[in-house]
Amino acid sequence: MMALIVCVGRSIYVKKSELLLVKLTTVLSGAQRQAQTITSNQYETPRVVTHVPGPKSRALAERLGQYQNVDAVHFFVDYEKSEGNFVVDVDGNVLLDMFMQIASLPLGYNPPALIDALKDRKNLTSFINRPALGSYPAEDFVERLERSLLAVAPPGLKHAQTAGCGTCANENGQKAIYMAYQRRLRGGGQPSEEEKMTSVMNRPPGSPKLSFLSFTNAFHGRCMGALAMSHAKWFHKLDFPVPDWPIATFPRLKYPLNEFKGENKREENRCLAEVRDLIVKYGRRGEPVAGICVEPIQSEGGDNHASPAFFQGLQTICRE
């Protein structure tokens, strides 16, 4: 049995019996009821008053360029004035933001409900003191976990491990899967002294030659473990020595779906067969596949979807 990570957001749910890890975005409790308090309407339309980037942005970029690479900087933002779906740059341009800080602002800029939440001293102390939750969780941490992540967890997934970002969650999931895979090989026993000593030196048997299967056009993050499973754009990976892990084809469905049912089913079956072949191939070369990482909707690599049957097929392969 191997494990499957389905990547959606910034936390990990763990079902111990199958080690099925699912990342889900934290949902504000009662968000629908509070819709009127979450956003405001200071801006109704974009307003461009200078070239973009404007003179202030260009001057700031020149200053920052003395200390950091600024090739990717588009403009500097006035985050206090930005609101809702509109970002305001330092030159006073009001722009409709389709980027939203790498899709991390589902409620937009400066939502009043979040601002009010940060005024709560209990929330403020969590940000200031940065608790090491694995060792020294706060008194109210269990209640917070129950009210947030566990309140929206999929049925059957009752264990949660928090993480600071999507990449962290992915790599934490990878580590959990590797540990479970090796624990099964040991029959639940303790690691040997040889395993302990060789792990420190990045050598087997302590650092086993395991692999992780991912899909074409995937994007899972920019740290090395997540980057090894990302295949969307060359400039994410150029010059980095990532491991040679298996990469299966993500289905390319035809639309409208109701007109291409047969073709799409054959395409998904072809991709599932490729997954099976890669698992066998890497097992024979001494780098068994410990887990599979997949996005339910590929975004960075294109607006690519697959049917529920495809993901259920991946679960079946993992359980086998």
The superfamily (CATH) of domain 30-110 is Aspartate Aminotransferase, domain 1 (3.90.1150.10)
> Where in the chain are the domains?
3-27+153-319, 30-110, 115-147
Q: Is 30-110 in the same CATH topology as 3-27+153-319?
A: no
**Concatenated DSSP letters for 7-40?**
--SSEEEEETTTTEEE------TTTTTTHHHH--
What CATH fold (topology level) applies to the domain 3-27+153-319?
Aspartate Aminotransferase; domain 2 (3.40.640)
Count of H-run helices and E-run strands, the chain: 11, 11
Low-confidence ranges of the chain (pLDDT < 50): 9-37
Query: According to the model, what pLDDT value does residue 70 have?
Result: 97
Query: According to the model, what pLDDT value does residue 28 have?
Result: 34
Angle 205-178-202 (CA atoms, 0-180°, nearest 5)?
Answer: 40
Query: According to the model, what pLDDT value does residue 3 have?
Result: 65
pTM (predicted TM-score) = 0.80
